[in-house]
Amino acid sequence: MDGTNDDRIRRLDDWDTDGLTALAEEFETPLYVIDLERVSENCNRLRDAFPEAEVRYAVKAHTGRSVLETVRRAGLDAECASAGEVERALAAGFRGDSLHYTAVNPPARDLDAVVSAWDDHPDITVTVGAADTLDRLDERGFDGRVCLRVNPGIGAGHHEKVRTGGHAKFGVPLSRAPETAIDAARRFDLVGLHAHAGSGISGADLADHRELVGRMGELARTVAEELSVEGLPGLEYVDVGGGFGVPYREEEPPLDLNAVAAATRDALGTVPGRDGDAARLAIEPGRYVVADAGVLLTRVNTVKPTPDTTIVGVDAGMTDLIRPALYDAYHPIANLSANLSQEAIPATVAGPICESADVFCDNRPLTRPERGDVLAVGIAGAYGYEMASQYNSRPRPAEVAVDGSDLSDSRPVRHRETVEDLTRVERPIEPLEDHE
């Protein structure tokens, strides 16, 4: 993993400080900033490294309309984890043949909605991770394209909570996969096999990735053989999932996508496909597309020296960006308002939520923060806004889109919620009847 220039990710230093500060003034904080040009670049980097593959954007990383449209224009497909994501991808212009719905223990309501979308878009593919999901599709009259998700017995990723292979709820166990695949092919149009090891895979995980892809290649050859014996159509693709990591810390080397692509190709080998073609490789990255295209801006409200650290209270919290609280995830943080002559102090940047997990960093050097300063939390484009909540009755933040390094041309793409947005779904209780 040598990290050529192309592998460089966009760090906080690469953003225009004055431009970000001006956005914080204009749109107030907390504020997400998303650079759509960078999103396109990331799509292109993936397509360049995997020219032979179908590249599907895992929509869950950032489902904003502006991002979905940008990704669609860049030529990627969409991988959706729920009926809601399918609906939003369709609204952003993805066509049925570029839509892949990954059904994880799917609620009946989701299956109903996707089967109804399939009526209008018969090329949608449903990826199924349990044999009984096939029955549930059958019961609804679905007889379209399905893909079988397999648990390859290998998990990887930046935290145990984001490992989806091995001891996890996802996919059909590898040992049961051939029989389930053949059953699926007899009842539906089985177009692919799928596995996803986890999220945030680094260069150090390359051996695990190679092992997973190798197991999928073996399985696909076994299934292809049985399909051919039964005279059933062959596989169109083998999807080896997403999970390509992004180096959040300065010292982490960037992922060498070309090395990952070469290892993937090598480990997969050739899988006989449909109509005399080889089955294609498919990948479905989310984080890699959006992580370094986003920044969260927040303003300092309180600076409080304590015996252990200086608490820097900011107006963003775990409701806006939950990754540090949930996974102890590291995000770079810089004080955009700092005067360079000021020294750095050990600071604990904390939000306004009544939970002690509401901390973005603990005792980390930060150029001396003062009340009113604007801080930038970097690499916040993936799983940032998407995982935001309204806990403590906090409306979700606004988001503004920019194109490239010139931040003067910005467009609001999500308005800041109001408390009214939160209470719109509520109804006052009826007056209690008098029971005497």
Pick 58 or 366: Cβ nearer ligand LLP: 58
What binding mask, one character per residue, do residues 113-152 give for ligand LLP by CB under 6 A, x or -? Answer: ----------------------------------------
Instruction: Report the alpha-carbon distance of residue 148 to residue 74 in Å, rounded.
Output: 27
5 Cβ contact list (under 8 Å, min separation 6): none
Can you tell me the distance from the alpha carbon of 314 to that of 264, in angstroms, rounded to the nearest whole number?
A: 43
Q: Which residues are annotated as a binding site for pyridoxal 5'-phosphate?
A: 243, 284-287, 383
Establish if 46 lies at the interface with ligand LLP (CB under 6 A).
no
Does position 323 bind ligand LLP by CB under 6 A? yes
Closest CA to 205 of 250, 241, 169: 241
Regarding 102 and contact with ligand LLP (CB under 6 A), the answer is yes
- Considering only 64, 192, 254, 286, the residue that binds ligand LLP (CB under 6 A) is 286
Separation CA 342–CA 394 (nearest Å): 33
CA-closest candidate to residue 284, choices 40, 112, 46: 46
Report the half-sphere exposure of 297 (CA within 13 A, side-chain side).
27
The answer to whether residues 297 and 20 touch, using CB atoms and an 8 Å cutoff, is: yes
Indicate which residue of 43, 80, 354, 361 is catalytic: 354
Number of residues in the chain: 436
Closest distance between ligand LLP and the C-beta of residue 259, in Å?
Answer: 17
- CB 119, min distance to ligand LLP, A: 25
Which one, 150 or 300, has the nearer CB to ligand LLP?
150
| Stretch binding ligand LLP (CB under 6 A), from 206-214, 248-256, 269-277, 280-288 | 280-288
Distance between CA 266 and CA 264 in Å, rounded?
Answer: 5
Which residue stretches of 381-426 are H helix? 419-423
From the list 31-39, 266-274, 278-286, 345-353, the region that binds ligand LLP by CB under 6 A is: 278-286
Cβ contact 346:309 at 8 Å: yes
Question: Among 377, 235, 247, which residue's Cα sits nearest to residue 300?
Answer: 377
Binding to ligand LLP in span 180-239, by CB under 6 A = 196, 199-200
Q: How far is the CB of 133 from ligand LLP (least distance, A)?
A: 14
Binding mask 378-407 for ligand LLP (x = CB under 6 A): -----x------------------------
**Out of 46, 61, 279, 361, the residue judged to bind ligand LLP by CB under 6 A:** 61
**Catalytic-residue membership of 80:** no
Q: Is the dihedral of CA 98, 103, 104, 108 positive or negative?
A: positive
Q: Which is nearer to ligand LLP, 38 or 323 (CB)?
A: 323
**In terms of CB distance, is 188 or 288 closer to ligand LLP?**
288
3-state SS record for 32-96: EEEEHHHHHHHHHHHHHHCCCCEEEEEHHHCCCHHHHHHHHHCCCEEEECCHHHHHHHHHCCCCH
Q: Closest separation between CB of residue 283 and ligand LLP, Å?
A: 9
Q: Note the residues at the interface with ligand LLP (CB under 6 A).
A: 58, 61, 79, 102, 162, 164, 196, 199-200, 241-244, 284-288, 323, 327, 383
What is the set of active-site residues? 354
